[in-house]
C-alpha cells in the first residue's frame, strides 16, 4: 500500500453542496416548524433571504456524511475495507461518541452553499473495549472557514492493526488559536458544572425522525433498518446522534438570547460539545436540562454566555441520560449601525 494512500486516509477533501430546500429539510429534521419563530428558517423559497446565524449553525453537521471519507461513513460499500486496514472492527458496532463544533468569530452559515470539507484523522486510540477514532472537518465556503467539526467514533470491540498503530503514533493536530481557545473554554464550562438548573425544554422526536434526518445524507442503515439495528444489539433502529445534537442546540437558543438580553437573531454560536451516552429511539420524548455558568448579569454585560446541559429520556420509570457533559458558548452579535442619510 502506497504512502500516498495512507496520506489520503489521514487527510481527505470532499465537496459538499446544499440548497435552500436542503436547509429547510435539515431544520425540519431537527425539530423546526413548531413555532412561529421558525418561519424564517423554513420559507426560503427559490431566492433565500438572509437568516440568523445561530439557528442555522449546526446545518453543516447535517451535511457531514455527504461524500464523506471512510472514517465518517464506514458502513458504505468499500469504506469498511479501507478503514479495516487500520482497525479490525465490525461496521455494525460503530457508535458516535463525542461531537464538538466551533465557529469562527463573525461566521455566517449560508442557507445555500458549495463547500469544500477538509477532513483529517487526528486520533486513533486503543481502549480496553474498542478503538476511538477522532476526526476534524473544516467546512470552507469561498475560501473562508464557516465551522470545524470534531467527531469521535467508537468502534466497539475494535483493535488497531499494525498499520493503525503506526498511524496512531504519527498523527498530530495543531488547531489554530481560535479553535484551541474555544475548546479550552468548553472544557472550563464542563468542569464548572454550572450553577443550578435554570432552563428545561421537552424535545419531541417522531416515529419517523430518523428516516427524516437520513434525507440529509447520513444513510447508516442502523437508523432505519430493523434487522441491522438488531444485529448491532438494539431492539429497533436508533436516532442519529447528530439529530439529537441539533435538537438540543436549537433548544438552547432561547436561554442564550434571554441571558444576553437580546433576540435569537442577534445571537452567534461560538462552540458546542456533547457526549452521546445512550441511544435515542425515534418516538421518544426527551428533556433538555441546562444550567448557566457564572452570573447572568455578568454574561449580559460581557455579551458572552456559557451553558452546560444534558439530555435525558423524559417520562417512564427511569430518566436515562442520552447526552452528557454538554457545553455551549454563545455571544451577542452587535447590531449594525443604521446608515446615515445623505
- Quote the distance between the C-alpha of residue 314 and its chain's center: 22
pLDDT tens digits, one per residue of 196-211 = 667 899 999 999 999 9
Cα dihedral across residues 202, 208, 212, 214: positive or negative: positive
Contacts of 157 (CB under 8 A, 6+ apart): 89, 90, 93, 129, 130
Model pLDDT, residue 194: 66
Lowest mean pLDDT of 44-58, 94-108, 225-239, 265-279, name the range.
44-58
Q: Is the pLDDT of residue 7 over 60?
A: no
pLDDT tens digits, one per residue of 33-81 = 765 445 455 554 444 444 556 678 999 999 988 887 776 777 776 666 6
**What does pTM read for this prediction?**
0.89
Number of H helices, E strands in the chain: 12, 12
Instruction: Indicate the pLDDT class of residue 99, thresholds 50, 70 and 90.
Output: very high
Closest CA to 312 of 282, 288, 291, 281: 288
* Three-point CA angle 291, 295, 300, nearest 5°: 100
Instruction: Indicate the pLDDT class of residue 195, thresholds 50, 70 and 90.
Output: low
Query: Of residues 259 and 44, which shows the higher confidence score?
Result: 259
Instruction: Indicate the pLDDT class of residue 340, thresholds 50, 70 and 90.
Output: very low
Residue 50 CA to residue 14 CA, distance in Å, equals: 26
Beta strand extents in 2-91 (DSSP E only): 11-18, 87-88
Contact 312, 289 (CB under 8 A): yes
Task: Report residue 44 as a C-alpha cell.
Answer: 426560503
Average pLDDT over residues 177-195: 89
Average pLDDT over residues 9-29: 87
Average pLDDT over residues 128-150: 93
Closest CA to 282 of 230, 228, 212, 334: 212
Amino acid at each position: 500500500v502506497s504512502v500516498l494512500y495512507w496520506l489520503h486516509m489521514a487527510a481527505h477533501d470532499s465537496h459538499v453542496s446544499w440548497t435552500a430546500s436542503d436547509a429547510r429539510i435539515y431544520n425540519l429534521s431537527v425539530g423546526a416548524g413548531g413555532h412561529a419563530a421558525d418561519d424564517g428558517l423554513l420559507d426560503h423559497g427559490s431566492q433565500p433571504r438572509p437568516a440568523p446565524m445561530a439557528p442555522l449553525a449546526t446545518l453543516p453537521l447535517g451535511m457531514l456524511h455527504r461524500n464523506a471519507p471512510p472514517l465518517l461513513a464506514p458502513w458504505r460499500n468499500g469504506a469498511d475495507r479501507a478503514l479495516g486496514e487500520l482497525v479490525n472492527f465490525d461496521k455494525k458496532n460503530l457508535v458516535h461518541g463525542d461531537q464538538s463544533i466551533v465557529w469562527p468569530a463573525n461566521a455566517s452559515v449560508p442557507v445555500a452553499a458549495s463547500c469544500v470539507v477538509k477532513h483529517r484523522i487526528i486520533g486513533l486510540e486503543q481502549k480496553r473495549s474498542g478503538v476511538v477514532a477522532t476526526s476534524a472537518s473544516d467546512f470552507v465556503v469561498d475560501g473562508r472557514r464557516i465551522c470545524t467539526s470534531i467527531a469521535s467514533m467508537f468502534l466497539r470491540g475494535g483493535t488497531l492493526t499494525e498499520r493503525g498503530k503506526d498511524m496512531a503514533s504519527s498523527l498530530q493536530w495543531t488547531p489554530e488559536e481560535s479553535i484551541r481557545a474555544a475548546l479550552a473554554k468548553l472544557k472550563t464550562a464542563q468542569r464548572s458544572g454550572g450553577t443550578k438548573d435554570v432552563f428545561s425544554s421537552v424535545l419531541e422526536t417522531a416515529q419517523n425522525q430518523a428516516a427524516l434526518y437520513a434525507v440529509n445524507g447520513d444513510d447508516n442503515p442502523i437508523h432505519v433498518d430493523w434487522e441491522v439495528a438488531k444485529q448491532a444489539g438494539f431492539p429497533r433502529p436508533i436516532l442519529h446522534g447528530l439529530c439529537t445534537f441539533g435538537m438540543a442546540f436549537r433548544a438552547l437558543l432561547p436561554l442564550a438570547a434571554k441571558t444576553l438580553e437580546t433576540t435569537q437573531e442577534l445571537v452567534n454560536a461560538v462552540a458546542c460539545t456533547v457526549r452521546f451516552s445512550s441511544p435515542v429511539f425515534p418516538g421518544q420524548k426527551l428533556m433538555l436540562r441546562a444550567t448557566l455558568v457564572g452570573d447572568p448579569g455578568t454574561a449580559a454585560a460581557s455579551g458572552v454566555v456559557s451553558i452546560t446541559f444534558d439530555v435525558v429520556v423524559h417520562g417512564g420509570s427511569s430518566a436515562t441520560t442520552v447526552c452528557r457533559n454538554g457545553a455551549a458558548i454563545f455571544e451577542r452579535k452587535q447590531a449594525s449601525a443604521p446608515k446615515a442619510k445623505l
